[in-house]
Amino acid sequence: MSNYLPFEKPILELRQKIDELKAFTTEKDIDFSSEIDTLEAKAKHLETKIYGNLTTWQKVQIARHASRPTSVHYIQEIFQDFIELHGDRHYGDDSAIIGGIGKLNGIPVTVIAQERGKDTKDKIARNFGLPHPEGYRKALRLMQQANKFGRPIITFIDTQGAHPGIEAEERGQSEAIARNLREMAGFEVPIICVVTGEGGSGGALGIGVGNRLLMLEHAYYSVISPEGAAAILWRDASKAQEAAEALKITAQDLQKLGIVDEIISEPKGGAHRNSQLMAQTIEHILCKHLTSLLPLSQSELVEDRYQKFSKIGQFSSTAVFEGSR
Amino acid sequence: MLKDLFRKQKKYATIPTEATKNQVPEGIMQKCPTCGTILLSKEVEKNEKVCKVCGYHFMMTAPERIQSLVDDGRFFEYDSDLISVDPLQFPDYQKKIKQDMEKTDLKEAIITGEGTMDGYPVILGVMDPRFRMGSMGSVVGEKIARAAERAVQKRFPFILFSASGGARMQEGALSLMQMAKTSAALQKMNQNQVLFVSILTNPTTGGVSASFSSLGDINIAEPGALIGFAGRRVIEQTVRQKLPDDFQTSEFLLKHGQLDLVVPRLELRDTLVKILELHTIRG
């Protein structure tokens, strides 16, 4: 059962035992129903205990799970009449970022999403969800288009980071991300960003400047990968677990830091256990936030976003009457 | 921000250059890392820390840089009261901040404020790579955002010198979000048509390169500076091929259309004054 992570083994074993007993009941016609009930109760209890107390590293493993639903799934399930639009008009079409228009509960929206790919072939084609500058520039073009036609923007963040490579540097990876940060700050339409899996640093933020930042329950969002931080701190990438704890990267951590506006609950064990339900929950919460943003005027939307980010940060002052603003 | 209006601000003060000069650890002589020439430290300093033989640009501290730019060394510093806290209780962070404060006599990795250059009023921000490698945490982000907001209020041009390894790991996602905060403040400048000039010095990488430092109306680099998004080692591991010799240098970026200019330090002040003048005259 490759679908299970190491820390889920006790649950898996119990579930297997229950299945055996069930099979026994049907085959041998012996009634094990009371034993099954006891074990079911035990399994439920164990699930609550394990999934309710996940460590940061366990969450990272769920966020990176091979079967975790990706943006393609969410786009299919959540938006009606979706049309994918391609290309940055300067260099190429980066399939690590999907962009297009569709309807959310009947309202036309522009969707921008990082896509890591399903099978090996798809993953390679999409560069495992690591965008190049042309990906960010495609996103920018489509967001400008959304701004022009007054369409709200929904972004799905799921990347280990922007692609580190020679050509990416030559074509201005830094500039592409920086420009998106600045331009997203100025759009006069609602922007809602959802971190669905991995939020890898500047590469994630490059489509992440919104009025609302939402995170799935087991997603993470970090300034540096746990492995990268461990390599810098202790010159040992295998200490990623400790680095992950220290960096405070879970949705729950980011909510406490005043960065995340709402955490979207996942089905027990993670989004991959019930991807349909996950999509429905996301849709419901997106609609709720969009409804609250739609009444705002163009300038109110810009100011709302500006205030959101200008409040983020913690510092103190040596002056007497100054605190954090 | 409103509080700023009511806060009593200090009057013009001169940055203590003498103290900084005394701190030069190299002593009387220093060796140019590029051409190997032994140079008198005094001579290097007189030459704006540029090697007379090969033109190598030595690291400049923030106080030195400000002194070299503003008229008569007169500079009114903003937000000098802001200091870092340890929001994540990150291992050793407080200790390292304290060490850097003592070592550099600075409170954080950037100094912001205003002065004049050949009479033109400017808002200046100068990062100091000696303080936590010039990394951007909450204080650096806040100071840049406030400086940009003042630039909009006063309609003064904003010139920002970057020297930074990127976002500050020890403040986690709070540091990452400073990229968005500073860029949003620059968007206000952009919409209000106030000039922003970004000067990229050695090094300008990671989250700083991928936010405010790439957003100048004019982007200028000093020669030979390391500028890039991803670290060299990470790229080497990913692409498994040899990187060009000039990879991620100012000259490399200029060649690939990512910069407006590469200007040697000794010509930089004149270039900036020219740019300021060109943006003052209205047709």
- Residue A302 · residue A187 · CB < 8 Å: yes
Does A224 touch chain B if contact means CB atoms closer than 8 Å?
yes
Q: Are B169 and A322 a contacting pair at CB < 8 A? A: no
Does B13 touch chain A if contact means CB atoms closer than 8 Å?
no
- What pLDDT is recorded for position A231? 87
Q: DSSP strand E in A183-265: where?
A: 191-200, 212-216, 220-222, 262-264
Residues shown for chain A: 325
Query: Which residue(s) pair with B50 in the sheet?
Result: B57
Of the pLDDT bands very low, low, confident and very high (cuts 50, 70, 90), residue A320 is low
Q: What is the pLDDT of residues B88-122, one digit of tens each?
A: 999 999 999 999 999 999 999 999 999 999 999 99
pTM metric for this prediction:
0.93
Q: Are A202 and B231 a contacting pair at CB < 8 A? A: no
Task: Please indicate whether residue B239 or residue B125 has the higher confidence score (pLDDT).
Answer: B125
Does A298 touch chain B if contact means CB atoms closer than 8 Å?
no
What is the chain B residue with the closest CA to A232?
B169
The token pair that represents B264 in the structure block? 């040697």
Q: What is the pLDDT of residues B26-76, one digit of tens each?
A: 578 999 999 999 999 999 999 999 999 999 999 999 999 999 999 999 999
Q: Do the bridges between strand B120-127 and strand B110-117 make them parallel or antiparallel, or are there none, so unpaired? A: antiparallel
Does A321 touch chain B if contact means CB atoms closer than 8 Å?
yes
* Average pLDDT of chain B, as a whole number: 92
Nearest to B183 among A178, A233, A249 (CB): A178
d(CA A122, CA A118): 6
Whether the per-residue pLDDT at A324 is higher than 50: the answer is no
Does B101 touch chain A if contact means CB atoms closer than 8 Å?
no
Q: How far is B194 from chain A (nearest CA, A)?
A: 15
How many helices (H) and strands (E) are present in chain B, helices listed first? 11, 12
Chain B CB contacts of A209 below 8 Å: 180, 183-184
Between residues 104 and 143 of chain B, which touch chain A (CB distance below 8 Å)? 107, 137-139, 141-142
Q: How far is B175 from chain A (nearest CA, A)?
A: 7
d(CA A324, CA A313): 8
Residue B142 one-letter amino acid = E
d(CA A310, CA A213): 14
Which residue ranges of B make up the annotated binding site? 32, 35, 51, 54
d(CA A286, CA A27): 47
Local structure of A97: helix, strand or coil: strand
ipTM of the complex: 0.95
Q: Are B178 and A313 a contacting pair at CB < 8 A? A: yes
- What pLDDT is recorded for position B18? 52
- Residue B209 · residue B163 · CB < 8 Å: no
DSSP class of A82:
E
- What pLDDT is recorded for position B283? 57
How many helices (H) and strands (E) are present in chain A, helices listed first? 14, 9
Average pLDDT over residues B261-279: 98
Q: What is the pLDDT of residues A201-221, one digit of tens each?
A: 999 999 999 999 999 999 999
Whether the per-residue pLDDT at A185 is higher than 60: the answer is yes
Share of chain A above pLDDT 70, in %: 98
Of the pLDDT bands very low, low, confident and very high (cuts 50, 70, 90), residue B156 is very high
Does A244 touch chain B if contact means CB atoms closer than 8 Å?
no
Q: Are A208 and B87 a contacting pair at CB < 8 A? A: no
Which residue ranges of B make up the annotated binding site for Zn(2+)? 32, 35, 51, 54
Whether the per-residue pLDDT at B185 is higher than 50: the answer is yes
Task: Please indicate whether residue B162 or residue B232 has the higher confidence score (pLDDT).
Answer: B162
Find all residues with CB under 8 Å of A120, minimum gap 6, and list them.
none
Find the helix or strand (DSSP H, E) in which A247 lies. helix A240-247
Q: Are A202 and B207 a contacting pair at CB < 8 A? A: yes
Average pLDDT over residues B194-213: 98
Least confident of A47-56, A105-114, A252-261, B214-223: A47-56
Q: How far is A306 from chain B (nearest CA, A)?
A: 6
Residue among A78, A118, A113, A71 at smallest CA distance from A94:
A113
Average pLDDT over residues A17-30: 86
Does A256 touch chain B if contact means CB atoms closer than 8 Å?
no
Of the pLDDT bands very low, low, confident and very high (cuts 50, 70, 90), residue B245 is confident
Does B265 touch chain A if contact means CB atoms closer than 8 Å?
no
Q: What is the pLDDT of residues A92-104, one digit of tens each?
A: 999 999 999 999 9
Does B256 touch chain A if contact means CB atoms closer than 8 Å?
yes
- Residue B218 · residue B275 · CB < 8 Å: yes
CA angle B230-B231-B232, nearest 5°?
Answer: 120
Does B240 touch chain A if contact means CB atoms closer than 8 Å?
no
Whether the per-residue pLDDT at B12 is higher than 80: the answer is no
CB burial of B82-95 (b: ≥16 within 10 Å; e: otherwise) equals: bebbbbbebeebee
Local structure of A54: helix, strand or coil: coil
Nearest to B173 among A175, A181, A222 (CB): A222
